[in-house]
Amino acid sequence: MINKFVASVVDALHGIEDGSTILLGGFGAVGQATHLIEGLIETGAKDLTVVANNAGYGRVGLARLLEAGRVRKLICSFPRIAGSTIFESLYRAGRLELELVPQGTLAERMRAAGAGVPAFFTPTGVGTRLAEGKETREIGGRTHVLEYALPGDVALVEAWQADRWGNLRYRAAGRNFNPVVAMAGRLTIVQTQHIAKLGELDPETVVTPGIFVDRVVHLPHGDPVL
Amino acid sequence: MSRPTASWTPLSRTEMAARIARDIPEGWYVNLGIGVPTLVADHVPVEREVIFHAENGILGIGPAPDAAHVDPWLINAGKQYVTLRAGGSYIHHADSFGVIRGGHLDLCVLGAYEVAETGDIANWATSENDMAPAVGGAMDLAVGARRLWVAMEHTTKEGRPRLVRACSYPLTAIGAVARVYTNLAVLDVTPEGFRVLDMVPGLTLDDLQELTEATLSPAS
């Protein structure tokens, strides 16, 4: 019997190595696997590269992980948000490397990784400082920039419902990057608000099929707080 | 404004949003950036069916909820609570930027620091040494939507023109802007530069030119 549910955050995060690249779902607080992110601190893993849309806020989730000094590099589209003070101070002090990526390029680089496409050309960023030094090509009379796939050693996902095969559904805008990082992580770990019995999720409405999921932990923590 | 006179009054942010909303026809799929662009949705009547998109995976955003009807899982790209209207749907981030980059949006309205007469836009960083930069979806939206309109004040608070010959701030995209709505005028970007379509009452083309670095031409 396949059962991807594990009992605890510690079990869910077992085996994550130093130097890993960690992909995070979530857009701000919504759909971010906050408990798994904070759980990384307890694993002791360090020298991490974290890929996320935002760089955390206040002293929760990613901001806590940054504060604990476990992150070497952040790959991010919109790090500076209200309350992102921990990111800002680390970045200004030169203690955090930042790779700034347009949001659609960030999503597509992870989608490409999950889909087995090593690189792609995009019109986004042409002629801007974020395309400096990158290969370009004229295609159909328009200039494009070459961008490489961005796979993760680990992906951390927040779902609304999960069954024991790892089939997932999300809630409203909590979907965001989650299905994308789920495909792009070699080890995809999910925290879910609700457990569904196998067969209970309508197959027409499963958003992330269990093939992309390795471990699930049930953490009914409630609604995100902005 | 640098030299307000008794003869004309700049539009307020709300009036700018209402002016833009007038030009959005039923049936368009539209993405609104942060700031004045977000306010545009409030001025499109619900019965004129315009489908608003947000980068974080929403199609069919409805009016803002009152405090009693907030869904904590339903925010827009500016991280404000929103609603979903009947017919709306959720998509993941890669599909959401497929919507953007794939040319499926009829319109995107963004704020900006500067727009050049060539249609270049600078809206994400104010200096080459910005210590905590953030770009978000601006570069994808600028190149991907079928039309890019910009909403911004005609000049900076210090009176420096924002409609320029060449942008001084880091670029978001080159040759992308189709139209600019300022608090003084509506201008199309044409192969010959900015063409003035509309001005606030009492303002002359000469007045407007004085507040603009790029050369303006009249509508006809």
- How confident is the model over A104-161, as pLDDT tens digits? 999 999 999 999 999 999 999 999 999 999 999 999 999 999 999 999 999 999 999 9
Q: What is the pLDDT of residue B4?
A: 54
In terms of Cα–Cα distance, which of A151, A170, A164, A172 is closest to A208?
A170
User: How close B73 comes to chain A (CA, Å)?
Assistant: 6
Residue A5 has a pLDDT of: 98
- Contact residues on chain B for A180, CB-CB shorter than 8 A: 92-94
* pLDDT tier for residue B5 given thresholds of 50, 70 and 90: low
Query: In whole angstroms, what is the distance from residue B143 CA to residue B12 CA?
Result: 28
Output the pLDDT for position B126: 82
The whole-number average pLDDT for the span B30-57 is: 96
pLDDT at B128: 56
Q: How far apart are CA A212 and CA A196, in angstroms?
A: 17
- Contact (CB, 8 A) for B220 and B192: no
Is B73 close to A223, i.e. CB distance below 8 A? Answer: yes
Q: Catalytic residue at B49?
A: no
Three-class SS of B112-179: CCEEECCCCEECCCCCCCCCCCCCCCHHHHHHHCCCEEEECCCECCCCCECEECCCCCCCCECCCCCE
Domains in chain B, start-ordered, CATH in brackets?
A: 13-218 (3.40.1080.10)
Residue-level pLDDT at B131: 64
In the numeric block, which tokens belong to residue A105? Answer: 């390029």
Alpha-carbon distance of B160 to A5, in angstroms, equals 60
**Residue-wise pLDDT tens digits, A148-171:** 999 999 999 999 999 999 999 999
* The dihedral sign for the CA sequence B113, B117, B121, B127: negative
Region of B146 (left: φ > 0; alpha: ψ -120 to 50; beta: rest) is alpha
Question: Residue B197 has which token pair?
Answer: 């379509």
Q: Any idea what the Cα angle at residue A51 is, between residues A45 and A57, rounded to 5°?
A: 85
The pLDDT, as a whole number, for residue B3 is 56
Confidence of residue B12 (pLDDT cuts 50, 70, 90): very high
Q: What is the mean pLDDT of residues B24-43?
A: 96
Q: Which residues of A109-144 are buried (b: 16+ CB within 10 A; e: fewer)?
A: bbbbbbeeeeebbbbbbbbbebbeeeeeeeeeeeeb
**Chain A residues with CB-CB distance to B79 below 8 A:** 27-28, 81, 226
User: Domains of chain A, with CATH numbers?
Assistant: 5-118+150-218 (3.40.1080.10)
Please give the ipTM for the structure prediction: 0.96
Chain A CB contacts of B172 under 8 Å are: 128
Count the neighbouring beta carbons within 10 Å of the beta carbon of residue B45: 10
| Structure token digits, residue A119 | 């690189």
Q: What is the mean pLDDT of residues B150-177?
A: 97
Q: Is A122 on the interface with B (CB under 8 A)?
A: yes
pLDDT score at A81? 85
pLDDT (average), residues B40-67: 96
CB A185 within 8 A of CB A155: yes
Least confident of A9-13, A89-93, A213-217: A89-93
pTM of the model: 0.96
